Amino acid sequence: MTSTPARLLIIGPQGSGKGTQGVRIAESLGIPAVSTGDVFRANVKEGTELGQQVKAIIDAGDLVPDELTSAIVRDRLEQDDAANGFLLDGYPRNLGQVGDLDVFLEGRGEPLTAVIELSVPRAESIARLSLRAAQQGRADDNEESIAKRLSIYESETAPILDVYRGRGIVDEIDGVGSLDEVYARIVSALSARGITA
């Protein structure tokens, strides 16, 4: 039996551990973890045409528009290491980006096979981010700014999850527990879909 291709999206509020879990899942499946933040930084560092556009926008204090974000993600997914699957983290983050990603993946006949939703209560996210702020001395991680970022996540991401739930590809994972416990829950949900290392 061949395993289902791992074309994954991981979604969770700030402080849910999605970055850590995403990298771990991707490594275990032998696919790249594609974080929009990392891809932006790599393009800026390499001075690519897309990177120069991103840098100008970020330097001006603006958000990178959907079209440019989608173009950068498409470029990343066309690289050889993503031919057998990928794990997206931080994209798509709104309905416009869902549409862009759908058009791109459907054009390749390669739809997403699973969406991992790390579910963490708001109070837990705030506690984790406050702890991280204290440990790393991050002044931007105060309770007010954390609450604001969580509200944006809730208002922008809920509609995305509704789209993917309608397709029957969302696995809601309890994100509370040790890293190993949460990882084991994700592995179990993916293997139930035939996605195995």
**Helix pair angle (143-166, 95-107), 10° resolution:** 40
165 labelled catalytic: no
138 labelled catalytic: yes
149 labelled catalytic: yes
Among 108, 138, 165, 167, the active-site one is: 138
Among 7, 18, 128, 185, the active-site one is: 18
Q: Kindly give, in sequence order, each residue whose CB lies less than 8 Å from that of residue 123, ignoring residues fewer than 6 positions away.
A: none
Among 41, 74, 122, 149, the active-site one is: 149
Active site residues: 18, 93, 132, 138, 149
